[in-house]
Amino acid sequence: MLSRSLVLGAVLLLALTACDKQDEDPAAANVPPLAVEQQSAASAGGACILWDYGFIKDTIGVTFDVAASDQVDDVSTCVVQTSAGDYPDLMLSVVESTKASPEQFLDDLKPSKATTVKGLGRAAYRLNGAATAGHGPSIEVGWLSEAKQLQTLRFTFDKKASAAAVSAMNPKLIALAKAMNTTDG
């Protein structure tokens, strides 16, 4: 069983690599903003194939228009942002399969300060993170899907986010996770 820090480290590395790869692409740098907005999130590949900008907006009420993804071994990621800035952003990571039981997931992968979420996958948690010098607060929802995948959503606010905005986003992010929960069938 992979430790939580190893999984989160891999997810962070993949997310950062995905953003760096998009920034390094000279062709993407020459695409006018209107052309980028016409692309779908799914066109970025990786875990982005599970997303559509309209689906995200309808579910959590935030409009994104830039997506980047990566895949290393059985871990696939997607990060969506606005073309106006780095935050807010929304990250999804998917570990293709795991043998972890719901008990192992909650014992080994649920952060100590996280709360258990009922009604999402086989086991799930939610963790609110504090703002840092670089960005506002964050909300992370992680779950063991019915299809035995490890999935994590993390929404990171910009520095100006209010406590009310964070509170309002919690149920929306859980609703997004429930809408994305993969099943065996």
| Higher pLDDT, residue 40 or 106 | 106
Helix (H) or strand (E) holding 87: strand 85-95
Task: Give the per-residue pLDDT at 184.
Answer: 61
Considering the domain 4-180, what is its CATH architecture?
A: 3-Layer(aba) Sandwich (3.40)
| Higher pLDDT, residue 157 or 5 | 157
Task: Give the per-residue pLDDT at 14.
Answer: 41
| Higher pLDDT, residue 40 or 72 | 72
Q: What is the pLDDT of residues 22-32, one digit of tens each?
A: 444 444 444 44
Task: Give the per-residue pLDDT at 19.
Answer: 43
Residue appearing with tokens 């972890």: 100
Q: What is the pLDDT of residues 73-125, one digit of tens each?
A: 999 999 999 999 899 999 999 999 999 999 999 999 999 999 999 999 999 99
Q: What is the pLDDT of residues 165-174, one digit of tens each?
A: 999 999 999 9
- Read off the pTM: 0.78
Task: Give the per-residue pLDDT at 21.
Answer: 41
